[in-house]
Amino acid sequence: MTVSSLDISSSDSKSSLVKLAPVEAVLFDVDGTLCDSDPLHYYAFREMLLEIGFNGGVPIDEEFFIQNIAGKHNDDIARALFPDDYERGLKFTDEKEAYFRKLVVEQLKPVDGLIKLVKWIEDRGLKRAAVTNAPRANAELMISMLGLTEFFQAIIVGSECEHAKPHPEPYLKGLEAIGASKEHTFVFEDSPSGIRAGVAAGMPVIGLSTRNPENLLMEAKPSFLIKDYEDSKLWAALEELEKQGGAGTRSDAA
C-alpha cells in the first residue's frame, strides 16, 4: 500500500520553512499556481491540434498533455509537437496562446485560498514576484484577471531570460528584481519543471497538486505538497515560521 505524498508528516512540512526566518519574500509561478489554468490550456491545445489533423485526427488526452506540454516553455512545446517543422510549431503555439487568452477572460478562477494567502503576505510586508514560462501577454492578463497587478512587484518571463524553467535563471532573476535573498525566500509551484527550477535556485518549494500527478511532483523534490492554499499543512508551516519571529520582521521587507 502506498502512502500519498500529500500525507507528508505535519512536523516535516512545518519545519521545512523555519530555516528561512526571517522570511522576506515569496515567489509564485502563474499557470496552475495562482489559477487553475491547465484545463484551459488543455482545451485550447486539444481543439486546435484536432483542427489540423494532429495525431491522425485523434484528440490528445490528458496524459499526453501532462507529458509533453504542461509547465513547458513554448519553444520546447513547438519542438515536441512539430519536430520536423519548428517554425510551424512556433506559429501554432502563438495562435494557441491567442485562443487561450480569450478563454481566460471568460473562465479563469483563482486557486482556492489564494486571496487569504495574498492578504497574509501583504499584512507582513513581504516582497513578491511572479516567475513564469508563460508568454508575458498571458501572464499579465491572468494576473490582472485575478486582481493581482498591484500585488506583484515584478513579473519574470522565461522567454525573456537566457534559459527558461527548469533552469534556475528565471527564479534567480526574480530574486534580483525584488532585492531578495534565496536564504529568506520560498516558492510556490505546480509543475515538475517549475519545482526543479526553484530547487536549483536554492529555495524551498511548496508544490501544488493542482493538476499534475503527485509522483511526478515529488520526483522534483519540493519541500512538501499542498492541494491548494486552504491546505492545513501550509498554514501549520506558516504558523511555525511566525513562531520563530520569521515573517514580516525584516525592516527592508516592504
Cell of 198: 526553484
Q: How far apart are alpha carbons 23 and 143 in whole angstroms?
A: 24
Cα separation values, 198 from 27, 109, 128, 147, 166, Å: 9, 24, 14, 25, 8
Catalytic residue among 7, 12, 31, 61: 31
Give catalytic status of residue 31 as yes or no.
Answer: yes
| Cell numbers that stand for 207 in this block | 508544490
| Residues making up the chain, counted from first to last | 254
DSSP, residue by residue, 112-170: TTHHHHHHHHHHTT-EEEEEESS-HHHHHHHHHHTT-TTT-S-EEEGGGSSS-TTSSHH
In this structure, what are the phi and psi dihedrals at residue 13, rounded to the nearest 5 degrees? -70, -40
Report the alpha-carbon distance of residue 149 to residue 155 in Å, rounded: 10
Distance CA(97)–CA(241), nearest Å, equals: 39
Is residue 94 flagged as an active site residue?
A: no
Catalytically active residues, by annotation: 29, 31
